[in-house]
Chain A
Amino acid sequence: MNTGAAAEQLVHRELVWLVCGIGLAVLPHCTRLPVWIPLLHYCLTLSRLRIPVRWAQQQAVTLTTLRQLAMVAALIGVYSHYGTLAGRDAGVALLVVLSGFKVLESRTPRDFYIGCFLGYFLGITNFLYTQTIPTALFMCLVISIITACLVTRNDTGKQLSIPARLRLSGALLLQALPIMLVLFLLFPRVPGPLWGLPRDANTGRTGLDDEMAPGSVSQLILSDAVAFRAKFSGLTPEPDQLYWRGPVLWFSDGRKWTTGRGQSGRDPAPMNSYGTPLRYEITMEPTGKHWLFPLEMPAYIPEDSYLSADFQLKTKLPLRERNRYTLISYTNFRIGTDHPAELQRALQLPAGKHKKTLELARTWRQESNTPGQIIDRTLQWFSREKFYYTLTPPLIGGDSVDEFLFSTRQGFCEHYASAFVTLMRAAGIPARVVTGYLGGELNPVGDYLIVRQRDAHAWAEVWLGEEGWRRIDPTAAVSPARISEGIESALPDSIIDIPLGLENNVIARDLWQRFNNIRDAINYRWNEWVVGYGHRRQIQFLGQFGMGEADWRGMTVGLMAATAVIVLCIAVRLFGQRSTSADPAGRAYDQFCNKLARQGMVRHLSEGPVDFARRVSISRADLDQDVNRITSLYVDIRYGSQAHGLKSLQQQIRKFRAGYKHQ
């Protein structure tokens, strides 16, 4: 027993829980924030635990001033780092700093609750960065600790041990789980954002862009992140057919290739396709951009996307959530028309650059008759001369193409593609750079291809008149393995994520590979059904139950009904009267008492059965006989030496009706 005055005080054990809960919620942010911010947070929260309350009260004025100064300094720090206080990153930084100060100045229960709620909120901000299964599990831990924190606060009598509090918090969350599922599945999703997203909402996501400079693709090679997954309904094509077409780059400024302007808006060039169509689904990771990466060349495209003239497949809205698209492609095709303006653009070269390259091209052009000869000669030159395929090319200082072709001769696909296209253009053959992905890793567990960022690739397309645009991959001339066997074989082992010491062990490598496959299969399902559960997926899901047509109104009604059913189930479980007596006669008697209690005749726990029966008889003469008979039997069984009669007692109690008899 204690009083309200005592309950208004924050005690140490509550604060320990709070500091732990918030600290855990902040933990994953540590890698994403400048180091001083989480450090400051932990210093502030931990110092709250160390400050003796009395000392803090005596020094209240000094401390308040100090705290305010520190807070202003921290805000300035955040502002100077991000240049703003709004946006995702700065917002999170601000929240981490402020939560630290909030814990430090916690004095009343109100502060405590706000601290807990900040902890919940910090938990949710982690999902703006990553939505993987480990993060989700970690957040489950965080919210159960913060919930235990609230339990601690409300357990004024300090009756519950630490495991008991965690157990209660876990039980509450487990009961909340079905409600969460219903809400998650049925809450009407809106396709787009409600208002503009902060600019930095999608940074940190790697992927191909509409420009290519030396090093931009090789940077992607370092990333293990999944770009998309593809599942073929038939056979998966050979690895050297797996060119996933992305941005097409036309314009060069001598160093950087960009898509240029004005090519979009025109219908795609006609395409002649041969062979069997390949039907497949790709599940795109959100990129925040418009490109989809179809297998060359797409013939059937999804509804909300379009093909540009140079066969870039783009969605109408940026890819903000994980989405799945169904596509049909042909690997045998002929594309392009001799549109003069287009061919003109395919011959553009930056003025006054690449002098040595132009010189070489001019020589070859004079020596050759057909463009085909020039192409062959170039590819032969690449393979005969000492060109190397490497991820770590030496730095190129001056003219990027000239230096690569004539001095360093070490480069990655973007170097070869860019040099090749420059050479072609200089020789008068229209050419363009195509970026995208090549290959992919087959996951036998889910029977699908995983295309990662490290599969990023750049190749060239040249205009060969009758043949249309033809794909030429200069990298193949240098490193054929890259094309046929994938990036892993073309690159040294250190790139691939294999635990140390297992590189030479074939079995271990195999096991590791299998483990990775299973892991990715799980992630695939997770991404498909949980993280990727948006408007589109919701419609699809409801469609399975014949509710595909459900609008938001229908969903809301369903949502409420399902939630009500679950809440009711929990309530029935919670309030279901179960006798706790170990004795069968006692249990039956409890049942009897419950029947009477419903009529307003409550037995006191300390009231003997005979006394109770007498009291009932007085107030309800009509029950007199039944009650006395049952009580007398019960008393004989429970307190007498009579062993039989239990059956009869149970039967009588079952038949007993305490309601008023209508006569």
Chain B
Amino acid sequence: MSAGIVLERMLPDQAGVMPPGTGTLQKQRVYIFPTRQGITFACMLLIMLLGAINYNNSMAFVLTFFLGGLAMVCILHTYHNLAGLVLTGIAPQPVYAGETALFPVTLDNRVGYQRYAIALDQAAQRPWLKTWQRVSADTLYTDMPARHLKTVYIQVETTRRGIRPLGRLKISTCFPLGLFRAWSWLETGQTCVVYPRPDGNRPLPPATIDPLEDQKGNQIGTDDFIGFRKYRPGDSTRNIAWKALARGQGPLVKRFDGKGASKLMLGWHAAGHTQNTETRLSQLCRWVLRAEQQGIHYGLAIPGFHIEPGHGEQHKHLCLRSLAGYGLA
């Protein structure tokens, strides 16, 4: 247990609810190497040693060897500070393009001592020599009390919609003296769904209402009442919520669930005349959000996807996920 970092990979569908211990565990190797300061320190020790030999100065030998011993002990302590940590990547919440994706990573310090200054950063695909020393500005430092679990969020700026993998994660520490850096590479396999950025100012296409079933829909349902929406010209006066109007909430219309409710298929061609796929996806994304907000039953019809009209958070995410994955293998 003590050697290496343990990485737990969550399965992709264990996004929300995470019964503990359902992922697969892997042991990762921990590397250790002097930092730039450590190399400077070694040079200084060498100079001290030469001086001590030349002057035949016993106390200079003592001090040099003391510091040399300190460096050796430091290797152990730095390694000790990192090894044995258990890391779990948790599926992040979807974001819209341009927002910051937060990748939750749970650190599990099961030992009886505290760990300090554990640094987490994305290693990206840069060569080893470049990432070895550099501490980038968005490196996350965290301390781990003994027998403690902690979730940290790795921030990743998103620019494009799609599936954004977290990529390789570097977990490292220089504690206690900064002369050595212990680190490990982790492939958590986390991916974040990046929805298209809601954009475009085209109005929502008109909903289709089946006139035959409209009659039924206007009946007061038993458990099919789904809420209110703002009054729009043309709404039946029978559905106006007078009480709400009296309370000063403005004219509201009672809406009822049922086969007669308005249905809307958001189509590819309505979303724009431009050939730019991204612009269209942005427009569709905004429509989905607006339709959801207005309580309209909506579906999605874009090349490769056909989603039947529906409503609710889950339906919204299904639609948005489809938009995010559009055209991607």
Docked-complex contact B20 and A604, CB < 8 angstroms = yes
- The answer to whether the Cβ of A98 comes within 8 Å of any Cβ in the partner chain is no
A472–B71 Cα gap in the complex (Å)? Answer: 61
Residues of B within 8 A of A575 (CB): 2, 80, 83
- The answer to whether the Cβ of A269 comes within 8 Å of any Cβ in the partner chain is no
Chain B 26-61 interface mask (CB, 8 Å, partner A; 1/0): 010000000011001100100110111111111111
Q: Whole-angstrom distance from the CB of B21 to the nearest CB of chain A? A: 4
Docked-complex contact B135 and A7, CB < 8 angstroms = yes
Indicate whether A120 sits within 8 Å of B67 (C-beta atoms), given known contacts A180-B62, A611-B20: yes
Docked-complex contact B41 and A117, CB < 8 angstroms = yes
Residues of B within 8 A of A120 (CB): 44, 48, 63, 67
Docked-complex contact A175 and B1, CB < 8 angstroms = no
Q: Closest B-chain residue to A534, C-beta based? A: B56
- The answer to whether the Cβ of B77 comes within 8 Å of any Cβ in the partner chain is yes
Docked-complex contact B56 and A3, CB < 8 angstroms = no
Chain B 148-167 interface mask (CB, 8 Å, partner A; 1/0): 11001000000000000000
Docked-complex contact A2 and B141, CB < 8 angstroms = yes
Q: Closest A-chain residue to B56, C-beta based? A: A321
- The answer to whether the Cβ of B76 comes within 8 Å of any Cβ in the partner chain is yes
Docked-complex contact B2 and A577, CB < 8 angstroms = yes
Q: Whole-angstrom distance from the CB of A25 to the nearest CB of chain B? A: 11
Partner of B48, one of A121, A194, A612: A121
Indicate whether A113 sits within 8 Å of B40 (C-beta atoms), given known contacts A2-B141, A154-B117: yes
Partner of A154, one of B8, B54, B116: B116
- The answer to whether the Cβ of B64 comes within 8 Å of any Cβ in the partner chain is yes
Residues of B within 8 A of A151 (CB): 176-177
Q: Closest B-chain residue to A195, C-beta based? A: B54
Docked-complex contact B70 and A172, CB < 8 angstroms = yes
- The answer to whether the Cβ of B25 comes within 8 Å of any Cβ in the partner chain is yes
Chain A 609-653 interface mask (CB, 8 Å, partner B; 1/0): 001100100000000000000000000000000000000000000
Stretch at the interface among B106-114, B230-238, B256-264, B276-284: B106-114
A567–B27 Cα gap in the complex (Å)? Answer: 24
Residues of A within 8 A of B177 (CB): 147, 150-151, 154, 172
Docked-complex contact A3 and B137, CB < 8 angstroms = yes
Q: Closest A-chain residue to B65, C-beta based? A: A183
Q: Whole-angstrom distance from the CB of A613 to the nearest CB of chain B? A: 11
Total inter-chain residue pairs, C-beta < 8 Å: 229
- The answer to whether the Cβ of A605 comes within 8 Å of any Cβ in the partner chain is yes
Indicate whether A604 sits within 8 Å of B67 (C-beta atoms), given known contacts A124-B48, A147-B177, A154-B177: no
Residues of A within 8 A of B50 (CB): 194
Partner of A187, one of B65, B77, B136, B147: B65
Docked-complex contact A154 and B174, CB < 8 angstroms = yes
- The answer to whether the Cβ of A242 comes within 8 Å of any Cβ in the partner chain is no
Chain B 11-27 interface mask (CB, 8 Å, partner A; 1/0): 00000000111100101
Docked-complex contact A580 and B146, CB < 8 angstroms = yes
Partner of A172, one of B74, B88, B117: B74
- The answer to whether the Cβ of B86 comes within 8 Å of any Cβ in the partner chain is yes
- The answer to whether the Cβ of B204 comes within 8 Å of any Cβ in the partner chain is no
Chain A 146-162 interface mask (CB, 8 Å, partner B; 1/0): 01001101111101100
- The answer to whether the Cβ of B210 comes within 8 Å of any Cβ in the partner chain is no
- The answer to whether the Cβ of A236 comes within 8 Å of any Cβ in the partner chain is no
A87–B56 Cα gap in the complex (Å)? Answer: 16
Indicate whether A606 sits within 8 Å of B20 (C-beta atoms), given known contacts A574-B77, A575-B80: yes
Indicate whether A597 sits within 8 Å of B1 (C-beta atoms), given known contacts A567-B72, A611-B19: yes
Q: Which of A560-619 contact B (CB under 8 A)?
A: 563, 567, 570-571, 574-575, 577-580, 594, 597-598, 600-608, 611-612, 615
Docked-complex contact A184 and B80, CB < 8 angstroms = no
Docked-complex contact B66 and A173, CB < 8 angstroms = yes
Q: Closest A-chain residue to B179, C-beta based? A: A150
- The answer to whether the Cβ of A398 comes within 8 Å of any Cβ in the partner chain is no
Residues of B within 8 A of A615 (CB): 21-22
Sample of 20 A–B contacts (CB below 8 Å):
A3-B138, A124-B51, A127-B60, A139-B59, A154-B178, A155-B175, A172-B176, A176-B68, A176-B72, A183-B65, A189-B56, A195-B54, A531-B59, A570-B73, A575-B2, A578-B112, A580-B111, A602-B1, A611-B19, A612-B21
Sorted nearest first, the 10 A-B pairs with minimum C-beta distance are: A4-B139, A176-B69, A179-B69, A580-B112, A183-B65, A127-B59, A5-B137, A157-B143, A607-B21, A607-B20
